[in-house]
């Protein structure tokens, strides 16, 4: 199991970034795929046509998202924590921490965070 931590800068306020990560309609706008998402703790979510599935754990509007991502029957939960910090000039510093990523999935997950997830979100707000 491996952990991944990285910071991203998104050219939008923390409130807008939070909505982009939690509203299914907005997720579809920047990802190009339908999403199932709710801000109800304990609810299940699905992104990229089921490529990413899990359970929502906690939300702090405009500040924090905590989710469990499913990777089969692994013994330890894989937890994603996204913290949003104002970065000036209507930008957001996103602190991502993803724990307990299975070794065989690590490279794909890191690439996905950098290109499909936060890379796509950065492009969405830059346009």
Fold of 2-126: Alpha-D-Glucose-1,6-Bisphosphate; Chain A, domain 4 (3.30.530)
Structure tokens at 77: 């939960």
Give the pLDDT confidence score for residue 117 in this predicted structure.
Answer: 93
Per-residue pLDDT, 73: 75
* pLDDT band at residue 7 under the 50/70/90 scheme: very high
Residues near 5 by Cβ (< 8 Å), separated by ≥ 6?
A: 95, 96, 97, 98
Q: Would you list the domain boundaries of the chain?
A: 2-126
Render pLDDT for 10-58 as a digit per residue (tens, 0 to 9): 999 999 999 999 999 999 999 999 999 999 999 999 998 888 899 999 9
User: From CA 87, how far away is CA 19, in angstroms rounded?
Assistant: 17
Q: Give 116's contacts (C-beta < 8 A, 6+ positions apart).
A: 31, 48
> What's the whole-number average pLDDT of the chain?
93
pLDDT at 72: 74
Question: Quick one: how far is CA 73 from the chain centroid?
Answer: 21
């Amino acid at each position: 199991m491996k952990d991944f931590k990285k910071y991203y800068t998104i050219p939008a306020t923390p409130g807008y970034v939070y909505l982009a990560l939690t509203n299914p309609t907005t997720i579809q706008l920047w990802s190009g795929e339908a999403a199932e998402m709710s801000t109800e703790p304990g609810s299940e979510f699905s992104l990229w046509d089921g490529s990413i599935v899990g359970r929502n754990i906690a939300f702090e509007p405009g500040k924090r998202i905590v989710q469990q991502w499913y990777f089969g029957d692994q013994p330890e939960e894989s937890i994603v924590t996204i913290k949003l910090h104002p970065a000036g000039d209507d930008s957001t510093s996103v602190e991502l921490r993803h724990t307990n990523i299975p070794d065989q999935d690590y490279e794909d997950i890191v690439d996905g965070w950098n290109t499909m997830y936060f890379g796509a979100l950065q492009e969405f707000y830059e346009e």
